[in-house]
Amino acid sequence: MSTGGTEDAAGSGLPVVVVCGPPATGKSTLGAALARALGAALLDQDVVTGPLTAVVAGLLRADDLDGPALSGATRTARYATLHAAAEDNLRVGRPVVLVAPYTTERRDPVAWQRLTDRLRAAGGTPVMVWLHLTPDALLVRLRERSADRDREKLKDEERYLAVTDLAPPGVPHLAVDASAGTDRQCRRILESLHGT
């Protein structure tokens, strides 16, 4: 893992893999593959909170689901929902894969510690996996997926890259190249979890 050492991925708790990174890095695809491999609950923020977020977006007349107007109004509630579901799964003995940008937790060691403490209290051993791409590759992915929510981002690509946090996390993490195939990404993460 990067950034000053590793957390004990082979600790006594159930695995909690926190898959994070910028939009279009393949978080959902990797999360699903990891959940299958681990027999884990897959908690993808877009799936778990997406329908309600869409309702709020309509009320706020917000086109960009990742934009500041909507994310500012819903972030706390969306992550609280995700984490409560993770805790419930851990308490019944199910490993968890969490999929979300985790922008704050990537940058702020206090926020990351607060989350890890919460997940550990429920019986988990959290590990952050950071998917990364070069800026050019990220734009290619955004164009290729042609999602409605990316329309605003692609109107001014330079501005989007300037305001998007592409820096590595400032907390312990496992950096994974998002341009590698999903099988290769999974193998790397599973090897890290099992200490091989």
pLDDT category, 7, cuts 50, 70, 90?
very low
Segments making up each domain of the chain, as ranges = 14-193
Q: Is the pLDDT of residue 113 over 90?
A: yes
Q: What is the pLDDT of residues 175-186, one digit of tens each?
A: 999 999 999 999
pLDDT of residue 10: 44
Higher pLDDT, 162 or 21: 21
> Is residue 108 classed exposed, middle or buried when 0-12, 13-18 and 19+ CB atoms within 10 A define those classes?
middle
Least confident of 38-52, 103-117, 120-134: 38-52
Q: What is the pLDDT of residues 13-28, one digit of tens each?
A: 999 999 999 888 999 9
**Cβ neighbours of residue 192 under 8 Å, at least 6 residues apart?**
1, 6, 9, 127, 174
Average predicted confidence (pLDDT) for the chain: 86
Name which CATH class applies to 14-193.
alpha beta
Looking at residue 79, the DSSP 8-state letter turns out to be H
pLDDT of residue 67: 55
pLDDT of residue 5: 34
> Is residue 78 classed exposed, middle or buried when 0-12, 13-18 and 19+ CB atoms within 10 A define those classes?
buried
What is the distance between the alpha carbons of residues 185 and 125, in angstroms, rounded to a whole number?
Answer: 20
pLDDT of residue 4: 33
Half-sphere exposure of 123 (CA within 13 A, CB side): 13
Q: Is the pLDDT of residue 47 over 60?
A: yes
> Is residue 6 classed exposed, middle or buried when 0-12, 13-18 and 19+ CB atoms within 10 A define those classes?
middle
Inter-helix orientation angle 45-60/68-91, to 10°:
150
Q: What percent of the chain has pLDDT over 70?
A: 85
Q: In what order do the strands lie in the sheet with 14-20?
A: 41-44, 96-99, 14-20, 124-132, 174-177
Q: Is the pLDDT of residue 192 over 60?
A: yes
CA nearest to 38, candidates 93, 115, 101: 93
pLDDT category, 3, cuts 50, 70, 90?
very low
